């Protein structure tokens, strides 16, 4: 398989646009157009924008069965993006596939391993020293296998992709759940696990369950304190953390044109928090302007010629419609502990008092892959400038994370960074930092109740600072800045006053900021390494004694029989995200070493037996131990085990370690009420059985000391239920039915022991 070839008509133009990074990249709108027309003739109905781009990338547009929410599509994405924490495992899997080069343009981005401690320059230097072994592995593996490499300090993957690689109509997959950020530039950009990325890099068609399409119709105009972030904060409140599962969220309507391109990216980025496959906006003049400002005007000209393929058809049908009038939308703040608990900013103070949440804001944090654009920084700086002019500084600690080296350099040049520092801010490295728990926080002790407000996307328990008592709220950079100045949640900047050092009362005026710099962006330092044309001499070293990198051993094949008398490692109570299953923060350093990172398996999950975390009973000895320890004891004794869980199990990050770890430590099945999309696929890829209760109430029948047998595996088939035989410790037995979503291809993964094993069988 070769990437779509450029048609001769457009090759020169498109190649100029992409030449700085991927001379071989190709944008073939003619191919997209041709595929859309084939599918349109077959379906004989108007198409949504999501359908046009997804079906436009079908491997077999003429023969593919298409039924939203039911059939599996075989797709040919245009490119792959990987961040450094997930790229380690993705590249280790690619190496073990035995293939010489990637089949589609791919990049690695070093953004996850830089811990926020002091400030940008010092933290970056420290990260380069601490992570030298991993960075060297990624740089050499990238060079060896034809992958572009963005060095530490270059910025956050999603901002780099928006600035360089996303374009209207692209299909891009990324090993990070916030890959949908690229939907702000009219692309279908989907977060996946590393094994999915390996499929695409190997030139194998990539499978995705045909998504439903939720339409969000925007009317009115954004103005004043209301920002693009408020759109997704509102949508999250409506749909909840699982309301978008299995669907693409497609924004449309006359209100779209009042949102900047980077604002649209913000909205799409946080769509990950409602479980959506991805989110997307239709191509418009705001996108074209952004393409021109980022040196890709030729792509905008091409997109203009194919505009009908980059917007939804008139009268297309959505599976669900949400209407939002932007003129009536008020600033929102969501949290704590879950990103779908939405409150208008005007009400959050009163709700916090009633709920016993700490009112004092200890830290305000702006930036992250969700909100670190030039416009975001400019609007925050406009508020900081008003405060400085009145002699005021932030009452709370204040941190600023630029999204990319280009943003950092440009806000330094244009004075925004100085204003934000003068008001009390610390400018951190161009990296994920506190958003993913890379924060060496010193101002509160673990267990101390406190409140932080961020412009990030997630606020799960202990996510940002490893303190389960931290109440984290997500909102726009503008509101974060205002609350950091006020030092309290009980402040509505639209109506309330700040007090200057001399006692004068003043009210902040609504924030303002340019969408894009009036001069060109300052690219800053060059941080990109292009893969060499000849790489046969490049050596990729993994030291067998390393505690950070470990070559992969294939998982065992299915033995051909039912899985009998399995123990329950843990019956999880309530919310269980991939942060609970495989924590980030200090554990990120082991993302390339499966055995070491497996020591964090489910250490954040609540055990229903005792309401404790990381304390489960070893049913062989009767003693209590940590979850990974008991799992290792079962594995050493030849005992298979299962995990039992609740709703939306595995929501959050795309990290496939949450699937690799249970498989490595002897797990065979995960049985829950419902799954988040990426995690369910990741489990299948690693040869585990992700199963759901046919009757969700059956969760209550299972006791932590039961033995479970899963029967019917010899006749495992799409749509056919399996049975769980439960043996209780009192000698009684019962049977329950379990559902699965395996298709024929995925059943072969299970039988082979993993998707990677199956790929090797087929070579």
Report whether 173 contacts 200 (CB < 8 A).
Answer: yes
Report whether 410 contacts 402 (CB < 8 A).
Answer: no
Report whether 640 contacts 264 (CB < 8 A).
Answer: no
Structure tokens at 421: 């520092």
Residue 530 known to be catalytic: no
E strands present in 553-613: 563-571, 606-607, 612-613
Neighbours of 734 (CB within 10 A): 13
Say which of 591, 655, 663, 677 is annotated catalytic: 655
Bridge partners of residue 707, in order along the sequence: 567, 727
Residue 376 known to be catalytic: no
Q: How far apart are CA 216 and CA 239, in angstroms?
A: 11
Residue 655 known to be catalytic: yes
Sign of CA dihedral 623, 628, 631, 636: negative
Say which of 458, 580, 593, 664 is annotated catalytic: 458
For β-strands 332-334 and 342-344, DSSP reports them as antiparallel
Residue 196 known to be catalytic: no
Longest dimension (CA), the chain: 79
Report how far apart, in Å, the C-alpha atoms of 628 and of each of 76, 209, 582, 670, 760 are. 38, 32, 11, 15, 30
Say which of 57, 76, 79, 112 is annotated catalytic: 112
Report whether 157 contacts 404 (CB < 8 A).
Answer: no
Neighbours of 327 (CB within 10 A): 14
Looking at residue 460, the DSSP 8-state letter turns out to be B
Residue 286 known to be catalytic: no
Q: Supply the DSSP string of 515-558, one letter for each residue.
A: SS-SSPPP--S--EEPPPS--TT------TT-SSB-PPPPPPPP
Structure tokens at 325: 């009038």
Cα-to-chain-centroid distance, residue 333: 20
Phi-psi region of 24 (alpha: psi -120 to 50; beta: other; left: phi over 0): alpha
Residue 227 known to be catalytic: no
Neighbours of 407 (CB within 10 A): 29
Structure tokens at 470: 């931290």
> 474: closest CA among 383, 362, 396, 364?
364
Q: How far apart are CA 169 and CA 163, in angstroms?
A: 15
Q: How far apart are CA 631 and CA 568, in angstroms?
A: 10
For residue 497, what are the contacts with CB-CB under 8 A and spacing of at least 6? Answer: 505, 506, 507
**Edge-first strand listing for the sheet containing 148-150:** 188-191, 171-174, 79-83, 106-109, 148-150, 528-529
For β-strands 212-219 and 320-325, DSSP reports them as parallel
Say which of 373, 653, 654, 674 is annotated catalytic: 653
Say which of 78, 84, 123, 176 is annotated catalytic: 176
Calculate Rg over the CA atoms of the chain: 25
Say which of 25, 50, 79, 111 is annotated catalytic: 111
Neighbours of 611 (CB within 10 A): 10
Catalytic center residues: 111-112, 176, 458, 653, 655
């Amino acid at each position: 398989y070769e990437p779509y070839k450029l048609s001769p008509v457009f090759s020169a133009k498109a190649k100029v646009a992409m030449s700085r990074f991927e001379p071989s990249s190709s944008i073939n709108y003619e191919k997209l157009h041709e595929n859309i027309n084939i599918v349109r003739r077959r379906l004989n109905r108007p198409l949504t924008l999501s359908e046009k781009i997804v079906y436009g990338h079908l491997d077999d547009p003429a023969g593919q069965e298409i039924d939203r929410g039911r059939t599996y599509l075989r797709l040919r994405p245009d490119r792959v993006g990987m961040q450094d924490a997930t790229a380690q495992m993705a590249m280790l899997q690619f190496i073990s596939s035995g293939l010489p080069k990637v089949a589609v343009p791919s990049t690695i981005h070093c953004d996850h391993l830089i811990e926020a401690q002091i400030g940008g320059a010092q933290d970056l230097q420290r990260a380069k020293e601490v992570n030298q072994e991993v960075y060297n592995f990624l740089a050499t593996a990238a060079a060896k296998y034809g992958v572009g490499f963005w060095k530490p300090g270059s910025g956050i993957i999603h901002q780099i992709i928006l600035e360089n690689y996303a374009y209207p109509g692209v299909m891009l997959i990324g090993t990070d759940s916030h890959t949908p950020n690229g939907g702000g530039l009219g692309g279908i950009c989907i977060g996946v696990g590393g094994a999915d990325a390996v499929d695409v890099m190997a030139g194998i068609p990539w499978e995705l369950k045909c998504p439903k399409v939720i339409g969000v119709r925007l009317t009115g105009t954004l103005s004043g304190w209301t920002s693009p972030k408020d759109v997704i904060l509102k949508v999250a409140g409506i749909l909840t953390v699982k309301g978008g599962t299995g669907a693409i969220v497609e924004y449309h309507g006359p209100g779209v044109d009042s949102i900047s391109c980077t604002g649209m990216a913000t909205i799409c980025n946080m769509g990950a928090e409602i479980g959506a496959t991805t989110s997307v906006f239709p191509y418009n003049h705001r996108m074209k302007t952004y393409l021109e400002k980022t040196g890709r005007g030729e792509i905008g000209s091409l997109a203009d010629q194919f505009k009908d393929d980059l917007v939804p058809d008139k009268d297309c049908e959505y599976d669900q419609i949400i209407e939002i009038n932007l003129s009536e939308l008020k600033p929102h703040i969501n949290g704590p502990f879950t990103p779908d608990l939405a409150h208008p900013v005007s009400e959050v103070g009163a709700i916090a008092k009633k709920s016993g949440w700490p009112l004092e804001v200890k830290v305000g944090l702006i930036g992250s892959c969700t909100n670190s654009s030039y416009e975001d920084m400019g609007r925050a700086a406009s508020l900081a400038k008003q405060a400085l002019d009145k002699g005021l500084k932030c009452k709370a600690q204040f941190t600023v994370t630029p999204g990319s080296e280009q943003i950092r350099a440009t806000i330094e040049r244009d004075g925004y960074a100085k204003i934000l520092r003068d008001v009390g801010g610390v400018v951190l490295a161009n990296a994920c930092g506190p958003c993913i728990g890379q924060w060496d926080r010193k101002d509160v002790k673990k267990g101390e109740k406190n409140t932080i407000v961020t412009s990030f996307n997630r606020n799960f328990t202990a996510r940002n600072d490893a303190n389960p008592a931290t109440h984290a709220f997500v909102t726009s950079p503008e509101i974060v800045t205002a609350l950091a100045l006020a030092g309290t949640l009980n402040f509505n900047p639209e109506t309330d006053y700040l007090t200057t050092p001399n006692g004068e009362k003043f009210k902040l005026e609504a924030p303002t900021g340019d969408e894009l710099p009036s001069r060109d962006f300052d690219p800053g330092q060059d941080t990109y390494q292009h893969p060499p044309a000849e790489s046969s001499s490049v050596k990729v070293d993994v030291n067998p004694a390393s505690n950070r990198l470990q070559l992969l051993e294939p998982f065992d094949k299915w033995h051909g029989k039912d899985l009998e008398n399995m123990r329950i490692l843990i019956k999880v109570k309530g919310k269980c995200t991939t942060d609970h299953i495989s924590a980030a923060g200090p554990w990120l350093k082991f993302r390339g070493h499966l055995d070491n990172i497996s020591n964090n398996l489910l250490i954040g999950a609540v055990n229903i037996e005792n309401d404790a975390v990381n304390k489960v009973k070893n049913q062989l000895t009767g003693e209590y131990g940590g979850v990974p320890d008991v799992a290792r004891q079962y594995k050493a004794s030849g005992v298979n085990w299962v995990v039992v869980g609740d709703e939306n199990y595995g929501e959050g990050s795309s990290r496939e370690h949450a699937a690799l770890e249970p498989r490595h430590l002897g797990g065979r099945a995960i049985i829950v009420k419902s799954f988040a999309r990426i995690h369910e696929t990741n489990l299948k890829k690693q040869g585990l059985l992700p199963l759901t209760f046919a009757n969700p109430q059956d969760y209550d029948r299972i006791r932590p000391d039961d033995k479970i047998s899963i029967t019917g595996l010899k006749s495992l088939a799409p749509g056919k239920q399996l049975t769980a035989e439960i043996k209780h410790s009192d000698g009684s037995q019962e049977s329950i039915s379990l559902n699965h979503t395996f298709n024929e291809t995925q059943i072969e993964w299970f039988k082979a022991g993993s998707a990677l094993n199956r790929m090797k069988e087929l070579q």
